[in-house]
Amino acid sequence: MTKYGFLGLGIMGNGMAANLVKAGYDVTVWNRSPVKCASLVAQGAKQAKTPEAVTASCDITFAMLADPEAAREVCFGPEGALAGIGEGRGYVDMSTVDEETVKAIAISITTAGGRFLESPVSGSKKPAMDGTLVILSAGDESLYKDAIPAFQLMGKMSSSLKKTGQAARMKLVVNMIMGSMMTALSEGVALCRKSGLNEFQLLEVLSNGALASPMVKGKMPTMLDGVFPTNFPLKHMQKDMRLAVSLGDRLSQPLPTAAAANELFKAARKAGLSDEDFAAVFKILS
């Protein structure tokens, strides 16, 4: 049976790794804060002291890290994942990062004799727990095929975009749209409230019209209640908006709506909302 490694047990990674453990696979986990490994170890996972120890002992290692800096540090740092790679072992980075980071990691992993796949995901805490993420992959096709059994436990869909860097771009486009939609929804709800209209009637209208979507159904009630349980931290959304706008700059593609949305998320971070759900951007407007 394939031995899996998992690096990074935050809001997303914990649920994703748990699905592998629950399926009966041999799973070795690591996290910067070791205490986050405890629940998975209790379910049957093994715990390693370093990323190197994980990649050296596993056939395929998945990494789910917060940002480009964390992805680079875990891979390239002392006793990092790169040090344990070799002999065709696979490294699947599922973090949302820029393509430059993806390509730097890909080159290093393959040069060391390993196989690399970038596989950022679309979804948040609950889909991660439920195994219903959308997984976007690019890179080594043999590793993609070998990882499919794990992907089927973590997601409802996986897609191969072939060329390394393309999955990173696709994920940034997806999150850029989602972040822009959230700021537009926030402005609409704020205007509804200021106009003296019934906010719950607005929710009913949106839920039954052309704008009906899981985001409206899932996020608007939290906005109306004023309670924002963290499924996708606002700081991560702002990071993704920043990376998307930066990609647009490099490609000379105007992104006026995304740029404005990014500024609103930046204001929300300055207001101390970084660790709340990204829907808490509504607080800046309400």
Cα three-residue angle 22-142-6, rounded to 5 degrees: 35
Report the percent of the chain where pLDDT is more than 90.
98
Count the neighbouring beta carbons within 10 Å of the beta carbon of residue 103: 15
Is the pLDDT at 1 greater than 90? The verdict is: no
Length of the chain in terms of residues written: 286
pLDDT given for residue 84 in this prediction: 97
Distance in angstroms (rounded) separating the CA atoms of residues 273 and 247? 25
Active site (annotated) includes residue 3: no
Mean confidence (pLDDT) of the chain = 96
pLDDT given for residue 286 in this prediction: 87
Q: What is the 3-state secondary structure (H, E, C) of 83-122?
A: HHCCCCCEEEECCCCCHHHHHHHHHHHHHCCCEEEECCEE
Q: Mean per-residue pLDDT for 190-200?
A: 96
Amino acid at 202: L
Catalytic residue chosen out of the listed positions 171, 219, 235, 239: 171
Distance in angstroms (rounded) separating the CA atoms of residues 61 and 58? 6
β 133-139/115-118 pair status: antiparallel
pLDDT given for residue 45 in this prediction: 98
pLDDT in tens, 89-134: 999 999 999 999 999 999 999 999 999 999 999 999 999 999 999 9
Sequential DSSP letters for 160-194:
E--STTHHHHHHHHHHHHHHHHHHHHHHHHHHHHH
